[in-house]
Structure 1
Amino acid sequence: MEPASFPSELFPHIRIVMGMVVGLGITKLLTGLATFIQHPGRIKPYPIHLLWVATLLLELVHFWWWQYALYGISSWTFALFVFLIGYAIVLYFMCAILFPDRVDEYDGYEGYFISRRKWFFALFASTFICDLVDSLVKGPEYFSRFGYEYYIQVPVGILCCIIAMWTANRRYHLAFVTIHLIYQLSWILRLFYAVPVAFAQGH
């Protein structure tokens, strides 16, 4: 094997492992949503909880899409591999929190979600840090695409998560998830709708 071809051949192997974790997360969300159709009267749904499910489902699909930029990395290490798998695991744990095995001891998903908000938003805050590191390892050209908006997005996102961890105010939680979902869609359409040619070619 020629050394120059090694990174491009290693990337699919790493992406398969990440895909396994992402697939488990998507399966968890879809299975949870299916229970509302299978047993409509058994568990009371909660709109804010469902909005976070939609947000995280979009996040997982987006995660799998944007990680194609890893193709351009020319030097791989085990630490980077572990970091990427860890990032995917954090997203999976958020899915697992949204849909636990049982919620019958709570008054539907509202009581459950509010009682587990510290865990959920602590993990969510960590994704902003993971995303920052992920963007940096892809190189300065990739990172520069985001502009100064990125320097605002990360600290504001973490601050909003910290507030959400400590308040049970439903209006705040509804505003947070709604604004984040709209912004996430805007971010995808503006910067990730198509894979840049440079990254698709591994440069």
Structure 2
Amino acid sequence: MDAFSHIRVIISMILGFGVAQLLKNTVKLIDHPQKSKSVYWLHLCWVSYIFILIVLFWWWEHRLETVQSWNFLAYLFLIVYTTLYYVLCVLIFPDNIDEYKNYKDYFFSRKNWFFMFQILLFVVDFGDSLLKGKAYFQSLHWTYPVRNILHISLSFIGIKSSNEKIQIGIFFILFVFDILFIAQNYLY
């Protein structure tokens, strides 16, 4: 197995665990509504958003086949980077929230961690794009750096604010921007 095939398997496993975490806990809400804490729609919006981010990341990683030479640091970098997605999945949808009144209480008590990991994810994403080569990085539309900087900036605001309207605004801006980003870059 070549290095690209090997890293693709590891990335798929880690992302698969993350998607399983999101799906398992979403289905538990449907399967056992009386057992689950009251659902919070903004929390579910973030769950769906993280799912979209994972699918987009998975799609982007097929471009790793353009990497000509692999070394241990590049390999480790990608594993750590992919693990950030899994951490986001567990932070946004843990297996158990018995310590909290409901998902709204959980979300606002963990929002700082959630947004800090998003900041880290989008900072590291620049390195991932550079790993694919300078030509690849330069081929990205202007929306790529704007997208990452927007995510980082709004995540800082998300950390600072516990105002529900601001949190809704952050979600809405990032969601709409990413849908437009996907349409611009991948729906042709």
Range into which the TM-score falls when normalised by the shorter chain:
over 0.9
2:13 aligned partner, one-letter code? M
CA contact (8 A) 2:7 2:75 kept: yes
Displacement, 1:192?
2.9
1:49 and 1:109 in contact (8 A); partners too: yes
**Quick one: distance in 2 between partners of 1:153 and 1:61?**
16
Q: Which has the higher contact order (CA 8 A, sep 6+)?
A: 1
Tell me if structure 2 keeps the 8 A contact 1:125–1:161.
yes
1:39 aligns with 2:27: no
TM (normalized to structure 1)? 0.87
Residues 122, 151 of structure 2: 8 Å contact kept? yes
* Structure 2 counterpart of 1:131, from 125, 133, 137: 125
Output the CA distance in 1 between the equivalents of 2:85 and 2:137.
Answer: 22
Helix, strand or coil at the partner of 2:95: coil
CA contact (8 A) 1:14 1:81 kept: yes
Amino acid at match of 1:110: K
For 2:136 and 2:113, the matched residues in 1 are separated by 31
Higher alpha-carbon Rg: 1
| CA distance, structure 1, for counterparts of residue 115 and residue 68 of structure 2 | 34
Give the aligned partner of residue 95 of structure 1: 89
Q: How does 1:105-144 map to 2 (within 5 A)?
A: 105-144=99-138
Distance in 2, matches of 1:159 and 1:68, equals 28
Mapped contact 2:147–2:177 kept (Cα < 8 A): no
Post-superposition Cα deviations, 1:137-185, rounded to whole Å, max 9, x if no partner, equal 1112211232333333323321211111121110111111122112112
CA distance in structure 2 between the partners assigned to 1:152 and 1:88 by the alignment: 21
Give yes or no for contact 1:66–1:192 (8 Å, CA) kept in 2: no
1:65 matched to 2:64: no
- Structure 2 counterparts to residues 1-203 of structure 1, below 5 A: 9-42=2-35, 43-193=37-187
2:147/2:178 contact within 8 Å kept: no
TM-score norm. by structure 2 comes to 0.93
Cα RMSD between the aligned structures?
A: 1.5
Same amino acid, percent of matched pairs: 33
> Residue in 2 aligned with 1:197?
none
